[in-house]
Structure 1
Amino acid sequence: MFVIQGLDPASFTRYFTLSDAELAAKGARRVHADGPGYPCRVSLVDAAPGDELVLLTYAHHDVASPYRASGPIYVRRAAAMRAEDIDAIPPMLATRLLSVRAYDAAGDLEMADVVPGAELAGQIARMFDEPAVAYLHVHNARPGCFVARVNRHPGAF
């Protein structure tokens, strides 16, 4: 069993109160979805055309390890609740080519693979079959952007 989690919306609400100049000073920007391709990292859904989002740098792997990493993410203003999908793949992930990275408890990379989103559940199970794997990160394979963290479900594996 596994849990795919979006990011905590409380970490991003302040960005929506900032002016465009204040966002720019933080290396972020306000955007409006004009079509597909704006995946929200809180709700794990694609933004609808016209949705307001903030594009910002996020430290998705904030660990004391050489594998510490950050990158660009989108967050929708309307994303009030963190996604938490138990043993289910959010539709946003099911249609993309994904990079799945498995880390140990120290934040070091154990293994990685690229899979179509339709095969993500099987890849998660295979990676969690390895006892050293503590958690997974899912990224969009082509642009490389972080999408979500996957944890073992309590009591599973």
Structure 2
Amino acid sequence: MMTLTYLPYDAAEVANLRAGGPDAYGHPAERAVSSGVGTPCRACLRNVPEGADMLVCAARPFADLHPYAETGPVFFCADECTPHQGGDVPPILENSPDYLVKAYDATDRIVYGTGQITRKADIARYAAQLFERDEVAYVDVRSARNNCFLTRIVDLP
């Protein structure tokens, strides 16, 4: 049986950024105040609340540098938040009508032909379809308009 799980950004990396550590480009995160709209925190997988401090930084959700290790801007709650847990579709995937969904293999390479703009209501169905392929290790969900990384989906046994 398939159990799709939506993962928050790596907790150790988020803690490092909150402590002033470097982002994917070696810079400390910028601080800003959230408008409450379009500011998805990649830790709690909710919008950073209106008026709350947030971090803006370059993120690369891949362990190693290679041609497929995409880097882009992301937001985090500046203060500690509770990381998203479980298989429920996270709130940040309710903010847009569609998302870019694509699969990766165990070497963090895109599985060609899997990238697809997917309606929000169809993300879980499409991810489950992708996991039927032996070479798929995980599925990333990105903004369909800005290509920003939002969350990673894994299939837990």
**Same-fold status (TM-score > 0.5):** yes
2:92 aligned partner = 92
How much identity, in percent, do the aligned residues show?
Answer: 24
1:27-106 counterparts in 2 under 5 A? 28-63=29-64, 65-86=66-87, 88-96=88-96, 97-106=98-107
Q: Which runs of 5+ in 1 are unaligned?
A: none
More strand by share: 1
Q: CA deviation at 1:64?
A: 5.5
The answer to whether the 8 Å contact 2:73/2:148 transfers is yes
Distance 1:65 1:134, change over 3 A: same
| Residues 60-79 of structure 1, C-alpha deviations (whole Å, 9 max, x = no match) | 13346421221111000244
Show CA shifts across 1:38-62 (max 9, x none).
0000000011111111000111133
C-alpha RMSD over aligned residues: 2.2
Q: Kindly indicate whether the alpha-carbon contact (under 8 Å) linking 1:32 and 1:51 is maintained by their aligned counterparts in 2.
A: yes
Q: Distance in 2 between matches of 1:16 and 1:65?
A: 26
Post-superposition shift, 1:81? 2.7
Aligned residues: 149
TM-score (norm 2): 0.84
Secondary structure at the aligned position of 2:145 is classed as coil
Deviation at 1:8, TM superposition (A): 3.0
C-alpha separation in 1, matches of 2:90 and 2:76: 16
Q: Which residue of 2 aligns with 1:139?
A: 142
Counterpart of 2:90, as a letter, is P
From the superposition, tell whether residues 27 and 14 of structure 1 become closer, same or farther in structure 2 (CA, over 3 Å). Answer: closer
| Contact 1:60/1:71, CA 8 A, preserved across alignment | no
Unaligned runs of 5+ in 2: none
Distance 2:15 2:108 in 1: 27
1:121 and 2:149 correspond: no
1:12 Cα deviation after fit: 2.5
